[in-house]
Copies of this chain bind each other. A is one copy, B any other.
Amino acid sequence: MQTTTGKRQEQWTIQRVLEEKPGNSIELRGCIHHIRDMAEFAFIILRRYDGTVQCVLDAARMDIAAQELTDGMCVAVTGPVAFDQRAPHGFELRVESLRVLSRPTGALEAPVHKYKLNLGLESDLNVRPVSLRNLRKRAVFKIQEGIVRGFREFLHGEGFTEIHSPKIVKVGAEGGANIFKLDYFGQKAFLAQSPQFYKQTMVGVFDRVFEVGPVFRAEKHATTRHLNEYTSLDFEMGYIDSFADVMEMETAMLQHVMAVLKSEYAPQLELLSVALPKVESIPQVTFVRAKEMVAEKYNRKIRDPHDLEPEEEQLIGQLFQEEYGADFVFVTHYPTKKRPFYAMDDPEDPKHTLSFDLLLRGMEVTTGGQRIHDYDMQIAKMERLHMNVADFESYLMAHKNGLPPHGGLGIGLERLTMKLIGESNIREATLFPRDINRLIP
């Protein structure tokens, strides 16, 4: 009887080469990122998940001609390792034999080996399966991986439980028109705009929960900072004393994320010249005060007293950068009008909520706050807002059966990535973005 035992392929990794410093022959597999044929010698830059490796082909000693090799071929190269400080990772492989594992059909649709691709964004997105092979493009998504790892790792350590909530729902959490509709076996259904209801419900079960998953917003405008589908990092925590506990938790989480990036994603940060934001302490300012400060400092009229315009967010970022050297700013106490029905009003000032946004370098990357946990208080607020309470019966079951005081937040992963790496369009921080005009790749 044939069995599997969990034995993995014996494959060399760059790390193993560096640790063992072998003189003997090794085999490395990867994709020909670029080949330069110099008549007597050819240099191959082999692209692997763990970096690039320089390989040298001596034409005289090979049974394969360098001319037969092209960018985009996947190969297995064998030969001894030679140390060379000029090569990536300080070594090169002197190829003695080479096996072609697969071939592209012709020239690549983008010159992925270039340092900068120099494709316009639309062209880039059109050939995304190829353009992502560019080292700087893919580095963005390694950093994104690091953010998510740090987020989860930190919250797990703080006693949060990971959940998976449904994305096909009967009622939207945010309400409004920006929701995708769906025919669900004859019933009207929606795509979840956030896991809000479920994470609050699960606070009643696990006290502290988090979720990383897709959310869907049918926003009809195309901007540089909106997607119609994005990845939301959500957490919700019970037994808080105030919404400040949520902000402190996010601060500690971000400190952990930055530490993870710094220690485990240094090559990617360097490749993209990313300066990590300061997270030791994050200033707080109320919504009303932030608006005033910006109006005063930049001699700007307050047009919408109930919301922050994108330009105001940007100026708040600028002001706190200039005056306090801060990359992040918590803006607190948003107007009740502009927050969802589950937001807890400030008992001392019911026109404002116990809520916050977190801005990074002048753009909102998190929305959070304390939620209403008391059933009667929630019903009263919904009635004030003329909502149909019956539609929310299964959500309100959690309140009815008792929920601890709680709060939480949602972070847009692509937004956070975008601001972290200093890109100006959110699509740059999304593998395969969805916007009003784009459904492929």
Report A's interface with B, CB cutoff 8 A: 1-9, 11, 13, 29-31, 48-50, 72-74, 76, 101-106, 108-109, 127-130, 132-133, 138, 141-142, 144-145, 148-149, 156, 158-159, 161-170, 180-185, 187, 189, 191, 198, 201-202, 204-208, 213-214, 216, 218, 220, 228-229, 231, 238-241, 244-245, 247-252, 254-255, 279-285, 324, 330, 373-376, 394-395, 397-398, 400-405, 413, 431-434, 436, 439-441
Contact = CB atoms under 8 A, between A and B. Distances in A.
User: How many copies altogether?
Assistant: 2
Contacts of A184: 180, 439
A129 B401 contact: yes
A85 B4 CA distance: 44
Nearest to A437: B185
A333 B180 CA distance: 40
A214 B213 CA distance: 8
A99 B86 CA distance: 67
Given A31-B402, A49-B159, A241-B9, A166 B2 contact: no
A231 B164 CA distance: 7
A401 B145 contact: no
13 contacts: A5-B248, A5-B251, A11-B239, A50-B159, A74-B402, A105-B376, A108-B402, A129-B395, A130-B398, A168-B191, A181-B182, A187-B439, A198-B432
Q: Which are the 4 A-B pairs with shortest beta-carbon distances?
A: A6-B252, A394-B441, A104-B402, A72-B402
A1 to B, nearest CB: 5
Given A402-B102, A432-B198, A283 B3 contact: yes
Contact of A164 (B104, B249, B283, B413): B413
